[in-house]
């Protein structure tokens, strides 16, 4: 896609972005503002008690980061005006119905104006508590979808998944969704019931919170491996995809499945990353001498992709699939 196509496409668009304080979402927001400052509005869903706290998190954890230095330098004294006019932090949580939006007036405004929904929110902890991972990665995705189906002008739901939803399959796994369809016998709502039942039992035993957390983490890994996935993260993300495919209705759905996301390659500048994440843990521990060996196949490809390449794919997917209601395919995957 030529740059001019993306610039033209983004002009005047109203977009909801979940997981806004996360690594990938920040790069996505910066990309849009740098590429097309005349986007109409970016609603950023942020976990916070109210919109004032959400706005504070917007500036403390997103706008003030080094990632925005190019944009800040380009706009100079007008940078704050750009942010205030184009970006709106919204207090909410995808674990709840209607995304936990308590501000009814703002919720109605969003329902009337949103044209594109980009669901980036996720718990990427491989050994997350099973109830928390289900709440965010599985049923959280469904909550975002259901909210999107209520939006008057919505024409695209873009969901960020992971390349590893295929689980512990062997051989070449094609990006056509068959690997998940073969496993549609999984009763996802039963998985939720089992998690809630165990949590209730543990709470009734009056054991410490740390012990409850440990048990819920172990249960998640147990359920994942029992069903053919290596960890709780990819298992709950796979179930999230299944729910989206089943309940999408007429809403155009695009799923992007990146591999291990690493630092920026080129844009807005090379090498930006936030914290120690994904494969960085291995590199840091090797550098400190704490990790002397790591099992692997020297002939295999390193499954890593720079975050700005993922963001570029997101923008391309939005431009290509926007307003394609006439297509009859149940799901498009990239």
- Coil vs helix vs strand at 46: strand
The phi, psi pair for 81, rounded to 5°, reads -65, -40
In sequence order, what DSSP letters do the residues of 247-290 get, joined into one string? Answer: H-TTS-EEEE---EEES-SSSSSTT---SS-TTHHHHHHHHTTS
- How far is it, in rounded angstroms, from Cα 224 to Cα 220? 6
Cβ–Cβ under 8 Å, residues 42 and 15: yes
Please report, in tens digits, the pLDDT of each residue of the chain (334 residues total).
Answer: 456 788 899 999 999 999 999 999 999 999 999 999 999 999 999 999 999 999 999 999 999 999 999 999 999 999 999 999 999 999 999 999 999 998 899 999 999 999 999 999 999 989 999 999 999 999 999 999 999 999 999 999 999 999 999 887 777 766 665 556 555 578 999 999 999 999 999 999 989 999 999 999 999 999 999 999 999 999 999 999 999 999 999 999 999 999 999 999 999 999 998 877 667 777 788 889 888 887 878 888 778 999 999 999 999 999 998 866 544 333 444 4
For the record, the structure tokens of 34 come out as: 């740098």
Catalytic residue chosen out of the listed positions 41, 88, 217, 237: 237
Domain CATH number, residue 110: 3.40.50.720
Would you call 233 a catalytic residue per the annotation? yes
Would you call 52 a catalytic residue per the annotation? no
For the record, the structure tokens of 193 come out as: 């019931």
For 50, 196, 213, 218, 223, the CA distances from 202, given in Å and listed in that order, are: 31, 10, 10, 13, 17
For 52, 66, 114, 117, 318, the CA distances from 261, given in Å and listed in that order, are: 31, 19, 28, 21, 20
Q: Which domain holds residue 265?
A: 1-332
Catalytic residue chosen out of the listed positions 155, 233, 246, 327: 233
């Amino acid at each position: 896609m030529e740059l001019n196509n993306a610039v033209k496409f983004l002009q005047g668009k109203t977009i909801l972005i979940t997981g806004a304080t996360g690594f990938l979402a920040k790069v996505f927001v910066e990309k849009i503002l740098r590429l097309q400052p005349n986007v109409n509005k970016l609603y950023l869903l942020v976990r916070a008690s109210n919109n004032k706290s959400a706005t504070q998190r917007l500036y403390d954890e997103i706008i003030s980061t080094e990632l925005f230095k190019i944009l800040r330098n380009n706009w100079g004294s007008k940078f704050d005006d750009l942010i205030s006019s184009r970006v709106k932090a919204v207090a909410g949580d995808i674990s709840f119905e209607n995304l936990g939006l308590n501000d009814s007036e703002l919720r109605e405004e969003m329902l009337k104006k949103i044209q594109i929904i980009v669901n980036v929110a996720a718990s990427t902890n491989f050994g997350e508590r099973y109830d928390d991972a289900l709440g965010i990665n599985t049923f959280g995705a469904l909550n975002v979808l259901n909210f999107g189906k209520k939006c008057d002008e919505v024409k695209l739901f873009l969901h960020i998944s992971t390349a590893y939803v295929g689980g512990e399959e062997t051989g070449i796994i094609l990006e056509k969704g068959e690997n998940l369809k073969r496993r549609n016998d999984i009763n996802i709502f039963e998985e939720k019931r089992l998690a809630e039942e165990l949590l209730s039992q543990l709470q009734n035993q009056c054991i410490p919170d740390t012990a409850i957390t440990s048990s819920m983490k172990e249960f998640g890994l147990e359920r994942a491996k029992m069903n053919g996935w290596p960890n709780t993260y990819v298992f709950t993300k796979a179930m999230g995809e299944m729910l989206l495919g089943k309940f999408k209705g007429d809403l155009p759905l695009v799923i992007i499945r990146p591999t291990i996301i690493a630092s920026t390659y080129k844009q807005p500048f090379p090498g930006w990353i936030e914290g120690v994440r994904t494969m960085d843990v291995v590199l840091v521990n090797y550098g400190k001498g704490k990790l002397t060996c790591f099992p692997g196949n020297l002939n295999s490809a390193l499954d890593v992709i720079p975050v700005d390449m993922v963001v570029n794919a997101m923008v391309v997917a939005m431009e290509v699939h926007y307003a394609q209601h006439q297509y009859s395919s149940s799901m498009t995957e990239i």
